[in-house]
């Protein structure tokens, strides 16, 4: 388990216990967090699981894959710390991870 | 497990062809989820999963549940040869290579950028009927806008769009109570051939030109352009997949908001509710109620072996009403705070056009509510059509006011 903090645009903050091996996207969706959709279920196809990784954590969440890199240019309001939540797998090292949600996914 | 052997008793029975079941499939779906979450229909020889988690797992497992024999149950029976480039009916590595070509095109950012153009088109459909006391969500809008938008993207001239739509609709329609015939589906894309030839000579900034010129790495690892045949198939696929589904979304919008005046007025008064309302319409009545998969190897589902060679129907419309995921799923509620629906599928084949469909849905809802805040459905004259792959209204006439 890792504690993941999701901060919505309006500042509303939710701290969720997400299982190791799950993802930032799945943790959100399983807990009905509004603001992450994840239509493709983690197949790196839909780009509706966009999050901004807190800069302090950015280097710890793993590499960006080739497909993800392309989709990250195409999300709404991409930023240098943008990632697709389904491509961040939860490990013990990510306990305390903070992500912010974009204004909209689509 | 239930079979159709006991039709007379109270064993649950379902197939996608019976008009009486298609009219309101939800009570049957509820029974399937409860009594036969892995259902087998002996009459048509297919399996079906109906719970959210099971559908999600099946669509997520593209190695066992393959698309290479199409995603339409009727087509799987006949040894259909899927043309190269029809990636909705292909598996990795071909699917991956082809989808990568258009992956960038239909993304949220690019589709949002089209909003102005989509709105203009919508306004052009609606302004001529603004003062009418009767409108039809399909004839006046749903039958025009989605095809028009895809046509604009591709660069298909306006006057030919209707012919394209009619052909696609004819290829997907089933006669009441009958499975679809493969011969109906024209998979050659002949209708578009003229445009391709023309575009090859007169390039423009449309998608057709982009498809003709983009280099990609094909499934064998060769970097090349799409062949003319592949471009034809792509165009067919995009026009086919993006047209009727979105038209049906617009029809359901007319129907559902017509029947929920309180929520309709709420949205009209507060436009920020529009995106959530679109999601709830998509959940409540998915235009594509089920997708099929071919079972490539023996697999255990809910404790039972489903043998290789079987057809598995994924009941998306049932998953969207699974009470273990949605609170009061049979209620239409734009304020629900549940996890998302499954209307755009799941996994590697999940809908390429979802961002476009959502933008179109939003624009339509806004522009309709601006002009027609109140309406009642003309139930007697509204016509439903239902097949294994689409379900929605052919006409959705309403009384304004
Ligand atoms: C409300 C409207 C729409 C609905 C409900 C819908 C639904 C779906 C579903 C359920 C699938 C998955 C099929 C499967 O898994 O076998 C799919 C795939 C697809 N859709 Fe849509 N769709 C809609 C609009 C569009 C639009 C506007 C386009 C236009 C580009 C489009 C293009 C596609 C394509 C190309 C695929 C195949 C993706 C692949 O195999 O990788 N769809 N759609
Ligand atoms: S869930 Fe679809 S890309 Fe992340």
Q: Is the CB of B246 under 6 A from ligand 1?
A: yes
Distances in Å between the Cα of B226 and the Cα atoms of B167, B186, B202, B260, B282 are: 24, 21, 17, 47, 34
Flag if B112 and A30 touch (Cβ within 8 Å): no
Distances in Å between the Cα of B239 and the Cα atoms of B107, B135, B163, B242, B368 are: 17, 25, 12, 5, 24
Residue B5, pLDDT score: 45
Structural contact between residues A71 and A44, judged by C-beta atoms closer than 8 angstroms: yes
Residue B181, pLDDT score: 52
A63–chain B Cβ distance below 8 A for any pair: no
Residue B4, pLDDT score: 45
Q: What is the pTM of this model?
A: 0.93
pLDDT per residue as tens digits for the range B137-169: 999 999 999 988 988 888 876 666 566 556 555
Structural contact between residues B249 and B358, judged by C-beta atoms closer than 8 angstroms: no
Residue B170, pLDDT score: 57
State ipTM.
Answer: 0.93
Flag if B108 and A67 touch (Cβ within 8 Å): no
Q: Distance between CA B32 and CA B50 in Å, rounded?
A: 7
Nearest residue of B to residue A105, measured between CA atoms: B108
Residue B55, pLDDT score: 98
User: Which residue, by CA, sits nearest to atom 7 of ligand 1?
Assistant: B344
Categorize the per-residue pLDDT at B195 as very low, low, confident or very high, splitting at 50, 70 and 90.
Answer: confident
Q: What is the average pLDDT score of chain B? A: 90
Residue B187, pLDDT score: 47
pLDDT(B183) > 60: no
Q: What is the average pLDDT score of chain A? A: 96
Residues of B in contact with A29 (CB under 8 A): 339-340
What does the domain layout of chain B look like in residue ranges? 19-400
Beta-strand pair B290-295/B311-315 = antiparallel
CA atoms within 13 A on the CB side of B184: 16
Structural contact between residues B396 and B142, judged by C-beta atoms closer than 8 angstroms: yes
Residue B169, pLDDT score: 55
- Of all residues in chain B, what percent carry a pLDDT higher than 70? 89
| CB interface of B with A, residues 63-122, below 8 Å | 99-100, 103-104, 107-112
Nearest residue of B to residue A70, measured between CA atoms: B104
Q: Is the CB of B343 under 6 A from ligand 1?
A: yes
Top CATH class, B19-400? mainly alpha
Residue A99, pLDDT score: 98
Residue B87, pLDDT score: 97
Categorize the per-residue pLDDT at B182 as very low, low, confident or very high, splitting at 50, 70 and 90.
Answer: very low
Residue B99, pLDDT score: 96
pLDDT per residue as tens digits for the range B363-400: 999 999 999 999 999 999 999 988 778 999 999 999 99
Q: Which ligand does the CA of B364 lie closest to?
A: 1
Residue B205, pLDDT score: 85
Categorize the per-residue pLDDT at B184 as very low, low, confident or very high, splitting at 50, 70 and 90.
Answer: very low
Structural contact between residues B16 and B22, judged by C-beta atoms closer than 8 angstroms: yes
Q: Looking at the domain A2-100, which fold is it?
A: Ubiquitin-like (UB roll) (3.10.20)
pLDDT(B101) > 90: yes
Which residue(s) pair with B40 in the sheet? B47
């Amino acid at each position: 388990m890792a504690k993941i903090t999701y901060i919505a645009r309006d500042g509303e903050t939710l701290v969720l216990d997400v299982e190791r091996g799950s993802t930032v996207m799945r943790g959100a969706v399983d807990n009905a967090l509004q603001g992450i959709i994840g239509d493709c279920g983690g197949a790196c196809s839909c780009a509706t699981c966009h999050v901004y990784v807190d800069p302090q954590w950015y280097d710890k969440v793993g590499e960006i894959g080739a497909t993800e890199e392309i989709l990250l240019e195409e999300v709404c309001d991409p930023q240098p710390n943008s990632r697709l939540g389904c491509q961040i797998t939860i490990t013990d090292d990510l306990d305390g991870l903070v992500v912010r949600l974009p204004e909209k996914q689509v | 497990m239930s079979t159709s052997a006991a039709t007379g008793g109270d064993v649950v029975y379902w197939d996608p062809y019976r008009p009486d079941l298609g009219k309101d499939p939800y009570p049957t779906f509820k029974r399937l989820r409860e009594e036969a979450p892995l259902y087998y229909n002996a009459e048509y020889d297919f399996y079906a999963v109906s719970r959210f988690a099971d559908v999600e797992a099946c669509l997520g497992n593209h190695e066992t549940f393959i698309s290479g024999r199409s995603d339409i149950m009727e087509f799987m029976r006949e040894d259909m040869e899927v043309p190269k480039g029809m990636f909705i009916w292909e598996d990795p590595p071909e699917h991956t290579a082809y989808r990568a070509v258009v992956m960038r095109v239909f993304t949220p950012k690019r589709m949002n950028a089209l909003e102005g153009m989509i709105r203009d088109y919508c306004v052009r459909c609606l302004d001529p009927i603004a003062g009418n006391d009767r409108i039809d969500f399909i004839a006046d809008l749903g039958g025009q806008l989605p095809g028009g938008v895809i046509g604009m993207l591709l660069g298909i001239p306006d006057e030919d769009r209707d012919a394209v739509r009619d052909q696609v609709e004819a290829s997907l329609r089933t006669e009441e109570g009958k499975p679809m015939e493969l011969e109906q589906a024209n998979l050659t894309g002949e209708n578009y051939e003229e445009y391709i030839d023309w575009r090859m000579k007169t390039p423009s900034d449309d998608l057709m030109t982009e498809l003709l010129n983009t280099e990609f790495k094909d499934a064998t690892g060769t970097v090349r352009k799409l062949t003319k045949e592949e471009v034809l198939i792509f165009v067919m696929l995009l026009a086919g997949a993006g047209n009727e589904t979105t038209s049906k979304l617009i029809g359901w919008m007319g129907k559902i908001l017509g029947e929920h005046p309180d929520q309709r007025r709420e949205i009209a008064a507060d436009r920020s509710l529009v995106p959530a309302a679109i999601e709830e319409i998509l959940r409540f009545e998915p235009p594509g109620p089920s997708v099929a998969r071919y079972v490539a190897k023996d697999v255990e589902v809910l404790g039972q072996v489903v043998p290789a060679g079987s057809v598995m129907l994924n009941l998306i419309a049932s998953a969207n009403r699974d009470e273990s995921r949605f609170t009061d799923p049979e209620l239409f509620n734009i304020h629900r705070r549940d996890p998302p629906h499954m209307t755009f599928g799941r996994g590697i084949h999940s809908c390429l056009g979802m961002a476009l469909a959502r933008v179109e849905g939003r624009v339509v809802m806004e522009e309709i509510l601006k002009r027609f805040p109140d309406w009642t459905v003309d139930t007697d004259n509204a016509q439903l059509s239902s097949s294994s792959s689409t379900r929605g209204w052919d006409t959705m006439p309403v009384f304004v006011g």
